[in-house]
Amino acid sequence: MKISVFGTGYLGATHAVCMAELGHTVIGVDVDATKIERLAAGDAPFYEPGLPSLLRTHVASGRLRFTTDYSEAANFADLHFIGVGTPQREPDFAADTTFVEQVVRDLAPLLPRNAIIVGKSTVPVGTAAKLQELANTGVARGLQAEVVWNPEFLREGFAINDTLDPDRIVIGVANANSEGEQVLRRAYAPILERERACPVVVTDLETAELVKVSANAFLATKISFINAVSEVCEAAGADVTVLADAIGLDDRIGRKFLGAGLGFGGGCLPKDIRAFMARAGELGADQALTFLREVDSINMRRREKMVELTSRACGGTVLGKTIAVLGASFKPNSDDVRDSPALNVAGMLSLKGANTIVYDPKALANARRSFPTLNYAESALEACAGADAVLVATEWREFVQLDPETVGAVARGRVLLDGRNCMPSDRWCNLGWSYYALGRG
Ligand code: UGA
């Protein structure tokens, strides 16, 4: 099939590459000429395991190309995916749908024949219906462009696998006999025809839009639940990690997303819960989601608590202390530093007078750009050299596997702060390290 993907960020670039992998001919479109040049040269503009090799393969085979020219995409493809961003809008924290709308405004008049437009961006409920109106008014007389909603559930770090082997495919359509649904099923046929194919949920546009934000709100709630319990564990002298293991054994609860620690960050969960609350308010259902405000504040409190714990571990103040912060990305296997708890904590420690030295295996360049006033090191050991305390803020495997003896030989103090409850504490304690973690009494 001939497919276009508008927006070549984490979502769009991954989707374009994966559609080529499924056998389609794909054109990726973006307004950012630099990004398009890099992608066209087979160079992924962000770190995502597995993406560079698939990108190079399909650019080389000619199945995947990139352009800034909307008319090229309009003429080429019959199925147009939209994966542009919906950033947080100031000051009401709602999602800004300007870019999604602009794609449809610009694309519709250029369409030379009937087409299907598939929204994948995370949007406030009601956006798809609005886009259908924009498409109706934009297309040339006699033509039709059906808007379908197909939310994306990929996680950074696992984006390729999540796209090629999803848990479910949700298709939102306005009418029961939607041509868009059939076209989309054909596009995903290589996934749907597998022996153990994932379920397909076909529903109306509004439900499809809400499925996505509800899923992210649930994940955020689950993380904040365990982090709230973590606060009680701290007060009571209990251990949240053992507690999470124990409640997670109940398969109605499950252990996933009960990782207590610095909480959630990134470009999705924090923004999506705020946008969900804002949209519920617009719809007159604001009371329904007031609990998400609490989810948000529990999450933000963890970062402050981490700073307090660091001060305590450093003898009451971090002023004049050197702290190695291991991790800058919002989670491992990503170079994304958007709303990163790690950098937020590093920034707060620095404001309190600490000499903060940050290291991350992949996110250093992005971290330097966002927080230019922090100090950075090129390796974990370089960051730890002369440090009074070592704070693990992102659970990269490289940090979990650090040798306490080697780190101890270069650090000034043997103080380990585990912001993700990921470190083998016994190993470190046996070698004379003092170990501090959130929720561990
Ligand atoms: C999230 C969702 O998991 C995806 O399903 C969704 O498609 C995506 O947002 C999106 O909307 O595009 P992502 O932001 O890549 O994916 O990251 P997650 O793996 O969900 O992690 C989010 C944050 O929660 C990270 O900061 C992570 O460290 C934190 N987290 C996760 C915890 O603090 N504890 C846990 O137990 C799990």
Overall pTM > 0.95: yes
Same domain, 246 and 167: no
Whether 216 is covered by a domain: the verdict is no
Is the minimum distance from the CB of 122 to ligand 1 under 6 angstroms? yes
Question: Active-site residues: which are they?
Answer: 268
Q: For ligand 1, atom 17, which residue shows the shortest CA distance?
A: 155
Instruction: Measure 157 CA to ligand 1 centroid, in angstroms.
Output: 10
Is the minimum distance from the CB of 269 to ligand 1 under 6 angstroms? yes
Same domain, 242 and 151: no
Beta strands in 13-121 (DSSP E): 25-29, 64-67, 79-82, 115-119
Structural domain boundaries enclosing 54:
2-198
Q: Of 55, 5, 46, whose CA–CA distance to 26 is shortest?
A: 5
Q: For ligand 1, atom 12, which residue shows the shortest CA distance?
A: 268
Confirm if 67 and 98 have CB atoms less than 8 A apart: no
Q: For ligand 1, atom 23, which residue shows the shortest CA distance?
A: 264
Supply the pLDDT for residue 90: 87
Q: Is the dihedral of CA 405, 406, 409, 415 positive or negative?
A: negative
Atom of ligand 1 nearest to the CA of 394: 28
Supply the pLDDT for residue 91: 85
Supply the pLDDT for residue 441: 74
Supply the pLDDT for residue 200: 98
Same domain, 175 and 303: no
How many helices (H) does the chain have, and how many strands (E)?
A: 19, 14
The domain that holds 261 is classified in CATH as 3.40.50.720
State the distance between the two ends of the chain, measured CA to CA, in whole angstroms.
57
Encoded tokens for 430:
């046996």
Domain boundary among 148, 181, 198: 198
Same domain, 152 and 275: no
Supply the pLDDT for residue 316: 97
Supply the pLDDT for residue 146: 98
In three state form, how does the secondary structure of the chain look? Answer: CEEEEECCCHHHHHHHHHHHHCCCEEEEECCCHHHHHHHHCCCCCCCCCCHHHHHHHHHHHCCEEEECCHHHHHHHCCEEEECCCCCECCCCCCECCHHHHHHHHHHHHHCCCCEEEEECCCCCCCHHHHHHHHHHHHCCCCCCEEEEECCCCCCCCCHHHHHHCCCCEEEEECCCCCHHHHHHHHHCHHHHCCCCCCCEEEEEHHHHHHHHHHHHHHHHHHHHHHHHHHHHHHHHCCCHHHHHHHHHCCCCCCCCCCCCCCCCCCCCHHHHHHHHHHHHHHCCCHHHHCHHHHHHHHHHHHHHHHHHHHHHHCCCCCCCCEEEEECCCCCCCCCCCCCCHHHHHHHHHHHCCCEEEEECCCCHHHHHHHCCCCEECCCHHHHHCCCCEEEECCCCHHHHCCCHHHHHHHCCCCEEEECCCCCCHHHHHHCCCEEEECCCC
Whether 155 is covered by a domain: the verdict is yes
Same domain, 291 and 421: yes
Same domain, 264 and 348: yes
Whether 228 is covered by a domain: the verdict is no
Whether 220 is covered by a domain: the verdict is no
Same domain, 402 and 296: yes
Q: Which of 48, 123, 150, 155 for a ligand 1 pocket mutation test, highest count of atoms within 8 Å of Cβ? A: 155
Whether 209 is covered by a domain: the verdict is no
Atom of ligand 1 nearest to the CA of 334: 15
Same domain, 182 and 302: no
Confirm if 400 and 298 have CB atoms less than 8 A apart: no
Same domain, 181 and 310: no
Per-position pLDDT tens, the chain of length 441: 999 999 999 999 999 999 999 999 999 999 999 999 999 999 999 999 999 999 999 999 999 999 999 999 999 999 999 999 999 998 899 999 999 999 999 999 999 999 999 999 999 999 999 999 999 999 999 999 999 999 999 999 999 999 999 999 999 999 999 999 999 999 999 999 999 899 999 999 999 999 999 999 999 999 999 999 999 999 999 999 999 999 999 999 999 999 999 999 999 999 999 999 999 999 999 999 999 999 999 999 999 999 999 999 999 999 999 999 999 999 999 999 999 999 999 999 999 999 999 999 999 999 999 999 999 999 999 999 999 999 999 999 999 999 999 999 999 999 999 999 999 999 999 999 999 999 997
The secondary structure of residue 332, as a DSSP letter, is T
Same domain, 280 and 179: no
As for how many domains the chain has, the answer is: 2
Supply the pLDDT for residue 79: 98
